[in-house]
Amino acid sequence: MKFKMAGMIPAKEKSAIVILGASGDLARRKLIPALSVLREQELISKDSIIIGEGRSDFTDESFRDRFEICGDFREQLFYHQGIDGMKEFIKTKGDFKKIIAFLSLPPSSYSSTVEKLYNEGFREEVNIVIEKPFGRDYKSAHELNESIHRFYPESQIFRSDHYLAKEAVQNILIFRFANSIFEASWNSTYIESIQINAFETIGVEERAGYFDQAGSIRDMVQNHLLQMLCLTTMDPPVSLDPEDIKSQKINILKAIEIEEISRGRYDGYLDEKGVAEDSDTETWAELKLKINNHRWAGTPVYIRTGKALDRKGTEIGLRFRKRPHALYNPPAGTAPNEIIFKVQPSEGIILQLTGKNPGMELQLARTDMAFCYNDSFAGNNIPEAYQKLLLDALRGDHTLFVSAAETELAWKKLQGLPKTVGMIEYEKGTVPDSVFGDIWINFENYVGIC
């Protein structure tokens, strides 16, 4: 028996999905497996086709053999060399009212590829999905948007940020706006700080060429982490319409101000293949921000992200202010309440409270109330991020995609960053000491939960 993923509305139209750059790693690891699951779940039409495009000289069969697929889905997979002739090739396979063009390509080719698609004859029937990074600064992002908008309106452009499609990230808005008990305290009166971690244990590995041109701030903060911060701090939208959600995220981006920044890199980074000898690229970044609006005035935001650290994990933490006086208050004070959104690797939401230890004496102890996806939805086919993104692109739903205005605003915030003195060096498998002092939520306390 087959079960559709909960809450996933099928894309019923007969569609053609074109993956540009289909011989790359993203298509092999993420895109084709995601489409295979969508087909198995009957979320895309059995009459839809997937076309891989690239410069390599594959036949349909040799292209299919690159992937671990079988059954009917294998027969839906085709290959076409280059964009020239793609429109006619699709016509030979049938009449498709909706076409998705997924640009799994180097960012430098986005503008020229969009122009080629237009010149090939793709018009209002196509939705174009573009992978990050979208530009490397405000100027390049603005120029890229203008270049794309020469051919297609914003309604046909889907800028992908796969973090937005992660279940734990989507649940931030549900947690906040569908549960009235939290809204009254979701402000600077009660919340002491907002903290976001994005840690990786691996180094740059095969991405050294790209990463050395980007660094941790451009690679993670500008897109994934600022987007998660927007969802955590935005005001309630008037509806769930993508434009209303985008409007509230833009308000937060406008209000953000970066106050301090620290950069570092792991020992041996300069010896990595593909890294320039005189590289000034950071593999570690720690930032302090503030949000200049009524809701969050006085609540600092801290962001840490890096590679070759002691653990893998992405999480958002909100630490509440300590009570000024409590009846049950030991000499050292009670630990502040915390809410943790575990984004990866084990999704969940944890509320840290103070409770009583069992026994005859009155002893206070930390108590964790946890909502863990693996426990609550075991066997329920929790969708992987690219499954959701591809399905939403087919349906024309922009909710989990990033608009031109958001992209440019995020880059603008990173212009003129505060000057940093030197570069912190750290050993692989360790985390640099915080330059902001002992303010950090101890996220390690939550590693074993969920």
Residues taking part in catalysis: 224
Q: What is the CA radius of gyration of the chain?
A: 23
Kindly report the CA angle at 419 between 414 and 425, in degrees rounded to 5? 100
Q: Are strands 301-306 and 284-291 parallel, antiparallel or unpaired?
A: antiparallel
What HEC string does the chain produce? CCCCCCCCCCECCCEEEEEECCCCHHHHHHHHHHHHHHHHCCCECCCCEEEEEECCCCCHHHHHCCCCCCHHHHHCEEEEECCCCHHHHHHHHCCCCEEEEEECCCHHHHHHHHHHHHHCCCCCCEEEEECCCCCCCHHHHHHHHHHHHCCCCHHHEEEECHHHHCHHHHHHHHHHHCCHHHHCCCCCCCEEEEEEEEECCCCCHHHHHHHHHHHHHHHHHHHHHHHHHHHHHCCCCCCCCHHHHHHHHHHHHHHEEEEEEEEEEECCHHHCCCCCCCCCCCCEEEEEEEECCCCCCCCCEEEEEECCCCCCEEEEEEEECCCCCCCCCCCCCCCCCEEEEEEECCCEEEEEEEEECCCCCCCEEEEEEEEEHHHHCCCCCCCCHHHHHHHHHHHCCCCCEECHHHHHHHHHHCCCCCCCCCCEEECCCCCCCCCCCCCCCCHHHHCCCC
Give exposure, 166-196, as e/b (b: 16+ Cβ within 10 Å): bbbbbbbbebbbeeeeeeeebbbeebbbbbb
Yes or no: say if 162 and 386 are a contact pair by the CB < 8 Å rule. yes
Give exposure, 334-367, as e/b (b: 16+ Cβ within 10 Å): ebbbbbbbbbbebbbbbebebeeeeeeeeeeeee
Spatial distance between the Cα atoms of 330 and 179, rounded to a whole number of angstroms: 32
